[in-house]
Amino acid sequence: MKAAAAGGLAYAFGRTAGTVHAQSLGVGGFNDYKALVCVFLAGGNDCWNMVVPTSTAEYNAYSRSRGGEAGVGSGLAIPQASLLPISPQNANLNGVTFGLHPSMTGLQGLFNSAQAAVVANIGPLIRPTTKAQYQTPGWELPPQLFSHNDQQDQWHTLRGRQLVKTGWGGRVADALLSQTGSQQLPLAVSLAGQTLFEAGSAARPYVMGPTGAANFAGFGTGAVALARRQAFQAVLDATVTSTSNTVYERAYATVQASALQFSDRVNTALGQAVSFTSLPDTGVTLSSLSTQLRTVAKMISVRSQLAMSRQIFFVQIGGFDTHDDLVTLQPNLLGDVSNSIKAFYDALVEMGMGSAVTLFTHSDFGRTLTSNGDGSDHAWGGIQFVVGGAVRGATLYGDYPLLEIGSALDVGGGRFIPSVSVDQYAATLASWFGVADGDLPVVSPNIGNFSQRNLGFML
């Protein structure tokens, strides 16, 4: 019951009178469908081995900083000849070329066919920051840099030094509440447990499992099971309407009723979903990430049955805290990310939704350029991918830093001050999604400190 109620709990307690009114009216509304899919790489992805400069001078700086080639002593650098070439269409790269980790053939193909873009040296910032400003006492910086929990919160909430209880995905849902009130599910859906990223002030996320909504045990299709379900529903209805019950009893009954309603609704709709060629239901064993993305694709395929016009999905994969065994672990980690995203994009194309859905990555932080002997440590700025038919792909956004220890943005050990803020990243995605320009400072509280509000990677 606890597992099944998770989505109802997250949703029901957020239903203010205004929320219920908006849902009953379905005011506003969109005449199209769009979805955002956040793929969170938990632990802090070592992105400097994910997108690597291949031009001679820049590669040599990278290799020196990483202690030489991977597998030789404590070296972490990917051999230059094994990097997968990509062809950024930027006019400002001044001859610098790039390649992807050898395990990332799927994302290589998406990038070179202009279905994916790279956002370089991105991280939490309150305002643009130089190394001199970073070293100035009192300069406004995100708190607890290099801490997993704190920096995950920064990515999820964009809070800077404020104390907030909402995430930027949840605030997008709040901003669109009046236009999505007739949807049969909340706008935000997590397949990886409760997440601050999707928590809103009025809007609340729906939490489901990686393969669908959890069902209440004992409520099957047999006569006894159906009678048990009807009896349970009668108890809930009586509890909700009885004035003799406490507010807590009525709220608990409301949660259970919502959980029943949403699990029925989701699983009935998913039962009508097709099996995708790239993410089949049978015959192969999918990774955790591919399984979550297959369910997201299925949810998108049944959007009409659920009257959905806007959705934000959250999925997660762990294992990226590579203080140890980086050279051994990273090929499988990055290969899974690349293959899963490529399969998901192919599923979108299969149902004609390639341009309606945008997938983007988050991670705690980048990692140090320097080796700790067997891996890398916590850092700051990093690299993220954005994928979809509406992405201005085959392009590198932001400023890829010179991967040299002691360079202009290095604050120690190859920890780079971000040149792009997550506020800008979120505002760009939110604008494409349908958030009005006047609401962007609510979604991205620090966006006013940056001259470029939109990074330009969305059509």
Kindly give the confidence (pLDDT) of every residue in the chain, 459 residues in length, as a single tens digit, with 9 standing for 90 and above. Answer: 344 444 444 444 444 333 343 333 334 589 999 999 999 999 999 999 999 999 999 999 999 999 999 999 999 999 999 999 999 999 899 999 999 999 999 999 999 999 999 999 999 999 999 999 999 999 999 999 999 999 999 999 999 999 999 999 999 999 999 999 999 999 999 999 999 999 999 999 999 999 999 888 888 888 898 899 889 989 999 999 988 999 999 989 988 888 889 999 999 999 999 999 999 999 999 999 999 999 999 999 999 999 999 999 999 999 999 999 999 999 999 999 999 999 999 999 999 999 999 999 999 999 999 999 999 999 999 999 999 999 999 999 999 999 999 999 999 999 999 999 999 999 999 999 999 999 999 999 999 999 999 999 999
CA distance 319 to 52: 21
CA distance 181 to 115: 31
CA-wise closest residue to 61 among 411, 369, 419: 369
Q: Is 141 left (phi over 0), alpha (psi -120 to 50) or beta?
A: beta
Q: Are 304 and 273 in contact (CB under 8 A)?
A: no
Any idea what DSSP says for residue 306? T
pLDDT of residue 28: 57
Distances (CA, A) of 118 to 35, 204, 392, 459: 19, 30, 10, 15
In the chain, the percentage of residues whose pLDDT exceeds 70 is: 94
- Token pair, residue 328, equals 């051994």
Q: The whole model's pTM is what?
A: 0.93
Give 107: exposed, middle or buried? Use CB within 10 Å, 0-12, 13-18, 19+.
buried
Average pLDDT along the chain = 93
**28-76: pLDDT as tens digits:** 589 999 999 999 999 999 999 999 999 999 999 999 999 999 999 999 9
pLDDT of residue 217: 81
Give 114: exposed, middle or buried? Use CB within 10 Å, 0-12, 13-18, 19+.
middle
